[in-house]
Amino acid sequence: MRKRGLERGTAAVTSLTIENYIKAVYQICARCDKGRATTGELADRLGVAPGTVTSMLKTLADAGLAVYAPYEGAGLTEAGRLLALRVLRRHRLIELFLATTLELSWDEVHDEAEHMEHSVSDLLVDRIDRFLGFPAIDPHGDPIPKADGSLAPLDGLPLARCELGAPQRLVRVLDQSSEFLRYLSDIGLSLATAVRVTARWPEAGVLMVAFNGRESPIAIAAAEKLLVAAVE
């Protein structure tokens, strides 16, 4: 009995690891608009040694979830892509559920969803989706994959590259670390906030941005992580 319990535990850990790797490959490829994620990028994102990444990528390739080539990195097969979208669907719906029902802040939901995304069933996720009214985006503006694996494209331009004076609204935050999200909350920026870039000083790496009736300096590096859409 104890041996079977250990086997089940090992299987759960293996599944969790596979899902984390597949999700990381997908997000790196999607964020950089390229077909492969390098070993170094995955090691940095997952906090593991490059050798560990190499070993796992070979495992994913053997399982038909990834295409891996030494020194070139890995991309996902169709099966791997669908698994990644399934994990992202769970994660983003859990985030929105926690924010909506338990009123967790947007800097709190990510870590909680990371823990929960591997343990909830697809049935529960579908019920959460229905309960929330089939939402299109999560609390950070990320698109939520549908149950069939489809994902609606979301347009957005980094705030750092906006035309001066053009009215925009914040539609997505790419850096979802707790520290960065708390920084945005502290200065009063949230999804759908109307913003305008009023001045740009590239030599100093700073923008001046107007929002909520005031102006505030924002580092260009931070503004690159904020996607906005033109106000029509």
In this structure, the answer to whether residues 65 and 9 fall within a common structural domain is yes
Residue 130 has pLDDT above 90, yes or no: yes
| Final residue of a structural domain among 76, 109, 139 | 76
What CATH number is given to the structural domain containing 48?
Answer: 1.10.10.10
Flag whether 138 is in a domain: yes
226-230 β-sheet, strand order: 157-158, 226-230, 168-173, 194-201, 206-211, 214-219
In this structure, the answer to whether residues 40 and 99 fall within a common structural domain is no
pLDDT digits (tens, 9 = 90+) for 167-205: 999 999 999 899 999 999 999 999 999 999 999 999 999
Could you tell me the pLDDT band of residue 163, with boundaries at 50, 70 and 90? very high
Residue 68 has pLDDT above 90, yes or no: yes
Residue 5 has pLDDT above 60, yes or no: no
Can you tell me the mean pLDDT for 144-154? Answer: 88
Residue 13 has pLDDT above 70, yes or no: no
Structurally, how many domains does the chain consist of? 3
Task: Say which residue, 152 or 173, is predicted with more confidence.
Answer: 173
* Contacts for 207 with CB less than 8 Å, ≥ 6 apart: 159, 160, 197, 199, 200, 201, 217, 218, 219, 220, 223
Output the pLDDT for position 7. 35
Flag whether 168 is in a domain: yes
**How many Cα atoms occupy the beta-carbon half-sphere of 93 within 13 Å?**
28
Output the pLDDT for position 128. 97
- Calculate the alpha carbon distances from 175 to 130, 181, 183 in Å: 28, 8, 11
Output the pLDDT for position 192. 94
What CATH number is given to the structural domain containing 214?
Answer: 2.30.30.90
Output the pLDDT for position 152. 83
pLDDT digits (tens, 9 = 90+) for 87-116: 999 999 999 999 999 999 999 999 899 889
Instruction: Give the mean pLDDT of the chain.
Output: 89
CA angle 81, 56, 37 (to 5 degrees): 50
Host domain of residue 28: 2-76
In this structure, the answer to whether residues 210 and 174 fall within a common structural domain is yes
Asked if 192 contacts 185 with a C-beta cutoff of 8 angstroms, the reply is no
Flag whether 81 is in a domain: no
Output the pLDDT for position 6. 30
- φ/ψ of 223, rounded to 5, equals -65, -25
Output the pLDDT for position 153. 79
Flag whether 193 is in a domain: yes
**Of 26, 12, 116, 16, the residue nearest 65 (C-alpha):** 26
